[in-house]
Amino acid sequence: MKKTALLAACLAAASVGAQAQSTVQLMGLVDVYAGAMKMAGDPTRKSVVNSGGMTTSWWGMSGSEDLGGGMKASFMLTSFFRADSGDYGRFNGDTQFSRDANVSLSGGYGTMTLGRGKAPNFLPTIMFNPMGDSFTFSPLVLHSDIDLFNPSGWKRTVPADTGWSNQITYSTPTFGGVKGNIHYQFGEQNAGVNEGKNNLGLNAFYSAGPVGLTAYWEKVEILNPGGTTAIVTTKAYAHTDWMIGGTYDAGFVKAFATYGKASSDDNAFDKQTTSLGVSAPLGAGKLLAAVARTKNDVNDASRTTTTVGYDHTLSKRTDAYAMLMHDKITSYSSGTSFGVGVRHRF
């Protein structure tokens, strides 16, 4: 009898442990493309096999625990990597878990998250353009988040990365199709330099039937993601960015539109970006087209980027794509890029 009771207790304990572990999952995405890239201002075209044509490759773990009473604890640890070379991070010097490194508590009041997570600009930008989170081919994402290290020296409109470290985020429940997030980043990474500095922002989303709307605002005084590079903040880097956007899904076509502005406190930086796009079902995939135009009021220069492509669904987890992009900046030679790739989720 004692042996039977002991065996039952051991099985019960193992069952509880298995249930706890079952809330932890490994997940990620691998995206690799081959193509020929030439951005505006580039002197030559470069043939490449690169990671992250439509989505930056990443992997990680997440998990949650039911605390009872409608409360839940969760964590997220996810890391970018370059699938073409096997290097971790989006670039040399990127932090290990630069995509997510946080813990959260959620309930009827919403969700409170502590740690590194998405910046206010990220979700509105990727959800309101037809190329999504493509840092290679999406015109809106390129104008917002990518500097061109070529003779043009074109600077992105959002200087503080798509994720913020040392952050507190409050996410509201959904009320009548409306949901919002408030973000605050402490300026602790470089003590003595960032004293009194912080990043602050918010975003909101509305969804009802075929209509989607968004808006974000952020005040940026601290660069990201940090790591081993000292974060030196000056007034020139104190930026204010905002954007509004909308989508309309008519079934046979989905339309996207955004307008935003980025400026610095010393008036050395003043850019306005407008983007338009469409997504239309075609066969087993979608036809995609988008254009973004940014005007720099400081020097009267402008940049226009246009992309057309096709994303073909192979399964629920895998798709193949082909993208053609044209990029033009005032006073510099234009560039045309082409890439074909495969994206797999796990």
Domain for residue 24, yes or no? no
* pLDDT, greater one: 93 or 218: 218
Q: For Cα atoms 285, 288, 292, give the angle at the middle one, nearest 5 degrees.
A: 160
Mean pLDDT on 273-279: 98
What is the residue whose two structure tokens read 């969700």?
A: 111
pLDDT more than 90, % of the chain: 80
Domain for residue 31, yes or no? no
What is the reported pLDDT for 69?
Answer: 93
- Domain span including residue 187: 58-308
Q: Which of 133-137, 198-202, 209-213, 253-257 has the lowest mean pLDDT?
A: 198-202
Mean pLDDT on 141-167: 94
Residue 191 has pLDDT above 70, yes or no: no
**pLDDT tens column, 213-234:** 999 999 988 877 654 343 455 5
- Token duo for residue 145: 């988040």
Domain for residue 268, yes or no? yes
Q: Is the peptide bond before 225 cis (omega within 30 degrees of 0)?
A: yes
pLDDT more than 70, % of the chain: 88
- Token duo for residue 22: 């079952």
What is the reported pLDDT for 223?
Answer: 78
Residue 99 has pLDDT above 50, yes or no: yes
Write the CATH number for 304: 2.40.160.10
- Token duo for residue 19: 């249930």
What is the reported pLDDT for 333?
Answer: 97
Domain for residue 171, yes or no? yes
> Residue type for 112, please?
M
Containing 139, the helix (H) or strand (E) segment is helix 139-145
**pLDDT tens column, 55-82:** 999 999 999 999 999 999 999 999 999 9
Residue 196 has pLDDT above 80, yes or no: no
Q: Which of 165, 62, 136, 143 is nearest to 104 (CA)?
A: 62
Residue 2 has pLDDT above 50, yes or no: no
What is the reported pLDDT for 128?
Answer: 98
**N residues, the chain:** 346
Computed over every residue of the chain, the mean pLDDT equals 90
Domain for residue 8, yes or no? no
What is the reported pLDDT for 12?
Answer: 46
Q: Exposure of 17 by Cβ count < 10 A (0-12 exposed, 13-18 middle, 19+ buried)?
A: exposed
Q: What is the pTM of this model?
A: 0.89
Domain for residue 155, yes or no? yes
**Spatial distance between the Cα atoms of 307 and 162, rounded to a whole number of angstroms:** 22
Domain for residue 125, yes or no? yes
Would you state the torsion angle of the CA atoms of residues 235, 141, 179, 277, taken in this order, to the nearest 10 degrees? 140
265 confidence band (pLDDT: 50, 70, 90) = confident
104 confidence band (pLDDT: 50, 70, 90) = very high
What is the reported pLDDT for 15?
Answer: 45
Containing 328, the helix (H) or strand (E) segment is strand 318-329
C-alpha of 196 from chain center: 27
Residue 190 has pLDDT above 70, yes or no: no
What is the reported pLDDT for 160?
Answer: 83
Residue 17 has pLDDT above 90, yes or no: no
18 confidence band (pLDDT: 50, 70, 90) = very low
Domain for residue 12, yes or no? no
- Say if strands 178-186 and 46-51 run parallel, antiparallel, or are unpaired: unpaired
What is the reported pLDDT for 159?
Answer: 83
Mean pLDDT on 305-312: 98
* pLDDT, greater one: 18 or 134: 134
Q: Which of 10-14, 124-128, 132-136, 182-186 has the lowest mean pLDDT?
A: 10-14
Mean pLDDT on 199-222: 96
What is the reported pLDDT for 253?
Answer: 98
Q: Which of 136-140, 208-212, 268-272 has the lowest mean pLDDT?
A: 268-272
Q: Which of 148, 298, 145, 106 is nearest to 224 (CA)?
A: 145
